[in-house]
Amino acid sequence: MSADDDDITEELLTDADKLTGLSLELLGLDPHPDDMTAEQRLLFDPEDLDEMAAVPAEDRQGAVRQTRLLAGLLWNSSSILIDQLFRDLGTLSKLDTATPPDIAGTSVLSSLPPQFAGSYDAKFTQKFIVVAADLTASLVRGWTAPGCLAAELAVRCLLDQAEVTEDIYELDLPEEWRAQVEEVLLEDADSEALFSDSLDVLEDDAGRLGFEHWFKPFAPGDTVPPYACS
């Protein structure tokens, strides 16, 4: 690991404290029984509590560091995501008509379902930026599940960016971290079907996954920023 890699690691570990909307446990860290309340310990079998308590201190410290690094990475990636979306907006704003090849050359929009690339114009990008900004704010104010398909897609774009940073700097993150985070942030997500190669799946779900539904709340209790609904 180079000096620059050391710098980014320390920066991300510092950023971990800013991610107040998600606990380290939600990001995959097994809690130590001594850190639980009596009510929390009741949620585990005695054998599981004994196994958690038996983890060597050195291994525990390593797991905490890895999970804090992941927390800092999510914080850092959320800022990069919004910055790159504004860059994509600037690119599209210069075009009379955005074509699929244009979208393929963007930083973030290229990660969205390609079959809808012809619809990713400047207006769509503005609405997607608003949804993405609202979603990343949940990393601070307290996590709430995405309220629409566009918000789910923004989560996937966030995790894509995190993976890019991980690859560049070869970060020492928990194994299978993306699957763990997706399980928390995208539980029962509908948007996964948009990336299916099966035409049958897409046709069966067309009524609720159509592009016109992306910014519509899933249910009456779900919220979407007013600008994105307009």
Interatomic CA distance for residues 133 and 224, integer angstroms: 11
pLDDT for 230 equals 84
- Residues 152 and 190 sit within 8 Å (Cβ to Cβ): yes
The CA R_g of the chain, rounded to the nearest whole Å, is 20
CB atoms within 10 A of CB 61: 11
Nearest-angstrom CA–CA distance, 63 and 60: 5
Overall average pLDDT of the 17-36 stretch: 88
Cα dihedral 132→170→70→193 (10° resolution):
50
- Those residues whose C-beta lies under 8 Å from the C-beta of residue 148, and which sit 6 or more positions away, are 131, 214, 215, 216, 217, 218, 222, 224, 228
**What's the mean pLDDT in 109-121?**
95
Q: Which of the four pLDDT bands, split at 50, 70 and 90, describes residue 198?
A: low
| Higher local confidence (pLDDT), 154 or 50 | 154
Residue 51 pLDDT class (50, 70, 90 cuts)? confident
d(CA 85, CA 132): 9
pLDDT at 56: 77
Distance CA 132, CA 225 (A): 10
Contacts of 64 (CB under 8 A, 6+ apart): 24, 29
Query: Taking Cα atoms as reference points, which of 108, 87, 107, 89 lies closest to residue 98?
Result: 89
Mean pLDDT score of the chain: 90
**Prediction pTM value:** 0.88
What integer is the mean pLDDT of 149-154?
97
55 secondary structure, DSSP code: S
CA 18 – CA 163 distance, rounded (Å): 20
Q: Report pLDDT for 60.
A: 83
Q: What is the pLDDT of residue 41?
A: 77
Higher pLDDT, 23 or 32: 23
Distance CA 101, CA 98 (A): 8
Q: What pLDDT does residue 193 have?
A: 87
Q: Is the pLDDT of residue 200 over 70?
A: no
Q: Are 111 and 158 in contact (CB under 8 A)?
A: no
